[in-house]
Amino acid sequence: MSLLVVGSVAFDSVETPFGKVEEVLGGSAMYFSTAASYFTDVNLVAVVGDDFPEEPIEFLKKRNVDTTGLHCVEGKTFRWKGRYGYDLNEAHTLDTQLNVFSDFAPELPEDYRDADFAFLANIDPVLQLEVLEQVNNPTFVAADTMNFWIEGKLNELKAVLERVDMLVINEGEARELSGEPNMVKAAEKIRAMGPTFVVIKRGEYGALLFANDQVFFAPAYPLESVFDPTGAGDTFAGGMIGYLARRGAVGDIESLRLSTVVGCVMASFVVEDFSFDAMRELDDERILQRFKDFHDLISFNPLHSLQ
């Protein structure tokens, strides 16, 4: 089933204890669409400036991502600068320059409007709403956001939340949005704002899925070398929602649980290298192998009981 995504395409400058990169390819929609493209057809909505190179667009096209909705306008591409300490679970934003996103009014190509699945990746909630308004009758809508928008556009974000089926959000942001330190209570409060399903990303500690009265937990894959967590959240979401779209699944708990694992599998690749680089090396075989390794990591036989 087709999956529509709106989000940022960016130049990122990132510092971690292991190194530093300047103005490299990034953005929530860039990571999301690449990860999702391993599972389903993706239609991308975003904007870049006239300083944006052709190569990443060619890369997306090769991954079968439809870039008709990726507008190129006069001006500068979105830029984000962030830093991570040894606690790689939390990004500290140093600078955000919206540039061409400040007055972007997305107009969806005609054949994007019948999307079955939609993902409103981290971007201005006003844009998320504008995109949602142009989709005819989506079966399943998920969204992400971050502290920048929780602090800057809370009312608009709340209007988005009323209209989505799932929110995929970081632990720190879940705390900020709900005003609740405990994750079980935070998820409950966020569900009361609209989404039936809440997924809380906990960096190297994995992800929690809250679905009605059920909770599911998937750990992050333990890796020897973690260089740069930038994009891990969006790659997680791309794997998760891409997989749900491939199955055409909207609410059954088995698909939701599996999709959470697929999200963790996809995110495990991106942190192994700086910025977007690891996403270029992926293929179906590596994904399947890590999925199997993941299964070994978390399976145990409950019949060998404690007696």
What residues line the site for ligand AMP (CB under 6 A)? Answer: 8, 10, 12, 26-28, 31, 80, 96, 122-123, 146, 148, 230-234
Residue closer to ligand AMP by CB (options 17, 248) is 17
Q: How far is the CB of 111 from ligand AMP (least distance, A)?
A: 25
Q: How far is the CB of 253 from ligand AMP (least distance, A)?
A: 25
State the CB neighbour count (10 A cutoff) for residue 180: 16
d(CA 168, CA 81) in angstroms, rounded, equals 22
The answer to whether 284 touches 246, Cβ cutoff 8 Å, is no
d(CA 71, CA 44) in angstroms, rounded, equals 10
Q: Tell me which residue of 299, 242, 298 sits closest to 266, measured CA to CA.
A: 242
Q: How far is the CB of 114 from ligand AMP (least distance, A)?
A: 26
d(CA 209, CA 217) in angstroms, rounded, equals 6
Determine the straight-line distance between the first and last CA of the chain, rounded to whole angstroms: 47
Residue closer to ligand AMP by CB (options 1, 59) is 59
The answer to whether 234 touches 7, Cβ cutoff 8 Å, is yes
Token duo for residue 214: 């059920």
Q: How far is the CB of 301 from ligand AMP (least distance, A)?
A: 35
d(CA 123, CA 135) in angstroms, rounded, equals 17
Residue closer to ligand AMP by CB (options 153, 158) is 153
Residue closer to ligand AMP by CB (options 10, 198) is 10
Residue closer to ligand AMP by CB (options 27, 195) is 27
Q: How far is the CB of 96 from ligand AMP (least distance, A)?
A: 5
